[in-house]
Amino acid sequence: MAPPRDPLVDVRLNTEVTGIESNEDGELSGAVLQEHDADVREEIPAKALFACIGGTPRTDWADDVGVAHDPAGYLLTGPDLLDHGKRPAGWPLDRDPLALETSVPGLFAAGDARHGSTKRVAGAVGDGAMATALAHRRLAELRDGA
């Protein structure tokens, strides 16, 4: 079931904000939009603007270092690396990958680059804090000879 639409909200995908307009009080009054893949430029009235950026992961380097990712390029971590409960081929450790650990032991992914992330700042901050704790766990394993 689709969420209800709000007549005051206009969702635009694949669109770049190329300019903003303000009124005499310095408040937002409009936006200039440019659609990607089209030669369409539009000026619209606006009292508020929310831009969601970062929808394309910048993980082109992952293939070069053997990090598994989904078809869209998001890095697979933790349970998403398991195939029917089995560890990924070539996994060298005697444990399953940790929650944010990639297919390269000791390499963790956090935030928008990770498959299944919430794609929100607060989620990325939480992922970062958790990745730090997990990195310390992996370092302890290495010190203990695992």
Per-residue pLDDT reduced to its tens digit, 39-89? 889 999 988 887 766 678 889 999 888 899 999 999 999 999 999 999 998
Same domain, 31 and 100: no
pLDDT for 53 equals 67
Same domain, 85 and 131: yes
Contact yes or no for 49/55 (Cβ under 8 A): no
Percent of the chain's residues with pLDDT above 70: 95
For residue 121, count CB atoms less than 10 angstroms from its CB and return exposed for 0-12, middle for 13-18, buried for 19 or more. Answer: exposed
Same domain, 10 and 71: no
Using the predicted structure, report yes or no on whether residue 124 has a pLDDT greater than 80: yes
**Domain limits at 9?**
1-51
Using the predicted structure, report yes or no on whether residue 36 has a pLDDT greater than 80: yes
pTM: 0.66
